[in-house]
Structure 1
């Protein structure tokens, strides 16, 4: 059964937000929740030149001490991760998740997610990594690479948890966008939440027809839909529409075949994530 997997790399306010959105998604999808901590190999102590006047017995003793320090550090990191997962489990319990799984894996986050790929229904990650402070709008070290490599929906959390009351789809009428609508319609995650379809381009009969067709696709599944056409640069149009319409969640494809694709591919992906003040649901 597909799971909601929440990535926890430290336990602070950002991790609390990840837990809250993961608990919300788990309840909406009626899917099991797994709290994941990837225990990456720590940086070993710097290599030390023990040659020269130090005797052989002393060198061996120092090397043994260095190895023991590395082992102690690894044990401490494992214990720290275990405690973080316990705190995360208590957090989701407060949000109504009576049963959740905690999982600590050795290796990079990408390696851990690859081994779990068959189980992932939705991945929840914070925008900032463990070394950033809230409000700095930095993108975590692993986030962009995970978006590029993982073929599953990724919910990127930002700021405080706010149950979405309206979501917006950046729609460009490409095959990717049509596929996104199909996935939205088939999933219980956003069901019951009003939707805005935003198309960036000229307000012509053709563009309006494309939007009407897309809206009918969601409306047939019970979604309340309204359409917006705005002309201009992609990023400012998206941000302004979010503000004007009080949107709580932005849904986008990681890659497309239009101006939105040009906006997303490359370093501009990071720019979008940096600027967004609301969570993003990234679909491949």
Structure 2
């Protein structure tokens, strides 16, 4: 079993490694850490202007120097990630990967042998765009076929997990994961749906079915029906109960359905301080 950790040198990279070490210990998994050099940094107008004013040979020399600097940066970032994993107590195998291009373009190959992807909620510009989600995170979650653990800014041990449930395939995939995975067997699992007045009865029935499914596997869950706007209701419940991680489907067909482009899940990911485990 393998975990893919996507790093970029931001503060979130440290958190990614710490959460990856925490999960890897539970799954007895190895870890691949990947850093991808963004080609766009070599295509800025300044570089383009240099090519016209200095001629081809000096331009190629400058580009070579920039690429060497980027290679050194990649090495340092991978070194730091490896050190963070070690400091977090991870003692397993680590594979270092450095690619050039865009992470999402390499994703199908990178995730082929992995069970879980860990990446930060925001990237290297996190301090300048605190109100926005990272564009790379958005693309990866939309493209990936694996569960994605979206790391929060700082690591905190997880003792309670909240599964935000609705009866759609992505959420049912999350239910199957928690039923069959040993990685969260010692955490307190909470199951919650957010109801409107016109669908509360149906949701209660669905919650009971899921609760019974967990019980049949010997898993006790704390089941709760919430009311109000989805994001605030989940956030308030998580704060009240001391939840350490949120789990939910990446796509659905109701008010918890939109990831990235839709408003509700985007709001949850943007405003929630918790790491979030997303399922397809």
TM-score, structure 2 as length reference: 0.89
Between the aligned partners of 1:49 and 1:126, the Cα distance in structure 2 is 35
Once structures 1 and 2 are overlaid, which stretch shifts more, 27-36 or 264-273?
Answer: 264-273
Q: CA deviation at 1:106?
A: 1.7
**Structure 1: where are the runs of 5+ without partners?**
51-58
Q: 1:114 is matched with which residue: 108, 114, 122? A: 108
Q: CA deviation at 1:134?
A: 9.0
User: Does 2:64 correspond to 1:68?
Assistant: no
C-alpha change, 1:66 and 1:21, in structure 2 (3 Å) is: same
Q: CA deviation at 1:151?
A: 1.1
Residues matched between the structures, number: 272
Q: 2:231 is matched with which residue: 214, 232, 235? A: 235
Q: CA deviation at 1:31?
A: 1.1
Between the aligned partners of 2:216 and 2:156, the Cα distance in structure 1 is 27
The aligned runs of 1:162-173 (5 Å cut-off) are: 162-173=156-167
The aligned runs of 1:240-279 (5 Å cut-off) are: 240-261=236-257, 263-264=258-259, 266-268=261-263, 269-279=265-275
**Structure 2: where are the runs of 5+ without partners?**
none
Partner of 1:130: 124
Once structures 1 and 2 are overlaid, which stretch shifts more, 198-207 or 266-275?
Answer: 198-207
Partner of 1:54: none
Q: Is the 8 A contact 2:4 2:111 kept in 1?
A: no
User: Does 2:135 correspond to 1:141?
Assistant: yes
Between the aligned partners of 2:208 and 2:86, the Cα distance in structure 1 is 42
Q: 1:224 is matched with which residue: 202, 216, 220? A: 220
Q: Is the 8 A contact 1:128 1:137 kept in 2?
A: no
C-alpha change, 1:104 and 1:223, in structure 2 (3 Å) is: same
Partner of 2:48: 46
Q: Is the 8 A contact 1:176 1:257 kept in 2?
A: no
Q: 2:194 is matched with which residue: 197, 200, 212? A: 200
Q: CA deviation at 1:48?
A: 5.3
Q: 1:92 is matched with which residue: 79, 85, 89? A: 85
Deviations 1:183-227 (A, max 9, x none): 221122222111111111148554333212211222333333011
Q: Give the secondary-structure state (helix, strand or coil) at the position aligned to 1:277.
A: coil
Q: Is the 8 A contact 1:38 1:112 kept in 2?
A: no
Partner of 1:18: 16
User: Does 2:126 correspond to 1:155?
Assistant: no
C-alpha change, 1:206 and 1:108, in structure 2 (3 Å) is: closer
Between the aligned partners of 1:175 and 1:150, the Cα distance in structure 2 is 15
User: Does 2:4 correspond to 1:5?
Assistant: yes
Aligned CA-pair RMSD: 2.2
